[in-house]
Amino acid sequence: MHGMWRDGNHFELLPEAALFLPAMFAAVDGARQSVLIELYLMESGRLATALIGALLRAAERGVSVLLLLDGYGAMGLATADRQRLEEGGVALRFFNPLGAQSLVRNLTRDHRKLVVVDGAEAFTGGFGAVDEFLDAWYEVAMRIEGPVVADWVRLFCRLWDSPMSRGPGRASLVRGLELATRRREDFRGMRGRVVWGQGYRYQAIRHSLHHRVSTAAERLWICTPYFVPTLTLRMRLARAARRGVDVRLLLPGEVHDHPGVRYAGQRFYGRLLRAGVRIFEFQPIFSHAKFSLADDWVSLGSCNFDHWSLQWNLEANQEVDDRRFAAEVAGLFERNFASSTEIDPEAWSRRPRLQRFREWLYGTLDGMLTRLR
């Protein structure tokens, strides 16, 4: 499912927490009417404490503050922190708390990441309110202004008011939010649209990516922390490389929060490399970033290229069709390629048996998970 392509937007790339965290906190501190936040991960710690402080200050100024957290991803948020938020006037809801229900329902998580201030300024990316984003994980976000912000607000509102989001009271708190979208004439109308996925029924993000992979003419660069692609995506990537497209994958190296997922994805390296796909493993720290570039099209947001994101989770990405923004994203890719180790096809074909066993083991477990659907 996706919104319309809209002109007159301004998109700003914010690579690394040193850029996007101060920008988001400044926006919240300047809020006058409303702050909407939707996150998968929020755990008690330094970053969560700072965020709670900013939200409480906003609520004290009379700003409507709505915080929607995933019921599983927020299990690490202490009761005391939840009480501080509610007592301070923050409206707090949790999406799909774990319960004695069907396994598939428990697997459906809200993996989106969104901050909207006064209906005029939004942020999305792969971030969360956990301390790893302060210095241990590499992440990329973007600031959004213009007509597409209204689509982000509508997406938030639908989930806030859905039966799967639970919190004090059932009355809607989001009706009548003022949408003061601004047109940036200095950027002559950057085109963008919001694309979202909802479990395994609505996979607009996947369909959009497949379309871009199949139609890319010059370059197709993908950065994702969890690369366990479907057969369809693997075939499309290989076909694109064979027809002469510059296909590159930017994936995490040995520093990884889920090494088993890395091994499960590595079992596909061989065939992709033989097709001409170039694979880079990021070295400095764990890369949690999720963004793609196909010619002059960019997609950045919450969606990974694994079964969880593509089949179960609620995801949302901002797509941009703009040559200038694409050039900026390409520059970011180039800097990250320079900080990565490129997998040599010949050396990979001679990798040790232990590595092959890990790929088989975790690949088998991954295959079992896909059949839970």
Lowest mean pLDDT among 22-31, 75-84, 111-120, 160-169: 160-169
State residue 202's pLDDT score: 54
Provide the pLDDT for residue 171.
44
The values of phi and psi at residue 35, to 5°, are -135, 120
φ/ψ of residue 131, rounded to 5: -65, -20
Q: Examine the domain organization and report whether 240 and 140 are in the same domain.
A: no
Task: Dig out the tokens for 210 from the structure.
Answer: 């497949």
Q: Is residue 73 part of a domain?
A: yes
Which of 161, 191, 221 is the last residue in one of the domains? 191
Least confident of 49-58, 91-100, 207-216, 342-351: 91-100
Residues 154 and 113 in one domain: yes
Residues 127-183 pLDDT 10s: 999 999 998 999 999 999 999 999 999 999 999 998 888 886 444 555 555 555 555
What is the reported pTM?
0.93
Q: Are residues 217 and 103 in the same domain?
A: no
Q: Which residues contact 183 (CB under 8 A, 6 or more apart)?
A: 8, 146, 147, 189
Tell me whether residue 171 is in a domain: yes
Count of the separate structural domains present in the chain = 2
72 compared with 372, residue with greater pLDDT: 72
Last residue of a domain, one of 144, 171, 191: 191
Residue 196 belongs to a domain: no
Supply 293's token pair.
């570039």
At 27 the pLDDT is 98
Same domain, 89 and 161: yes
pLDDT number for residue 183: 56
Q: Specify the pLDDT at position 205.
A: 85
The number of residues in the chain equals: 373
Q: Is 160 helix (H, G, I), strand (E, B) or coil?
A: helix
What CATH number is given to the structural domain containing 65? 3.30.870.10
What's the pLDDT score for residue 300? 97
**CA quadruple 139, 293, 3, 215: dihedral positive or negative?**
negative
82 in the same domain as 34: yes
Average the pLDDT over 267-278 and give the result.
96
Query: Is residue 126 located within the same domain as residue 146?
Result: yes
**CA–CA separation, 69 vs 363, rounded Å?**
31
The pLDDT value recorded for residue 135 is: 87
CB 226 within 8 A of CB 258: yes
1 within some domain: no
Domain identity same for 209 and 173: no
State the chain's mean pLDDT as an integer. 90
pLDDT at 243: 96
Residue with tokens 């510059």: 246
Instruction: Tell me, yes or no, whether 174 and 246 share the same domain.
Output: no
**CB 69 within 8 Å of CB 93:** yes
pLDDT band (50, 70, 90) for residue 371:
low
For residue 109, give its domain range: 6-191
Point out the domain boundary residue: 136, 159, 191. Answer: 191
- Helical packing angle, 204-215 and 231-242, nearest 10°: 20
Q: Are 342 and 279 in contact (CB under 8 A)?
A: yes
**b/e map 142-156, b = 16+ CB within 10 Å:** bbbbbbbbbbbbebb
Same domain for 179 and 246?
no
220 and 304 together in one domain: yes
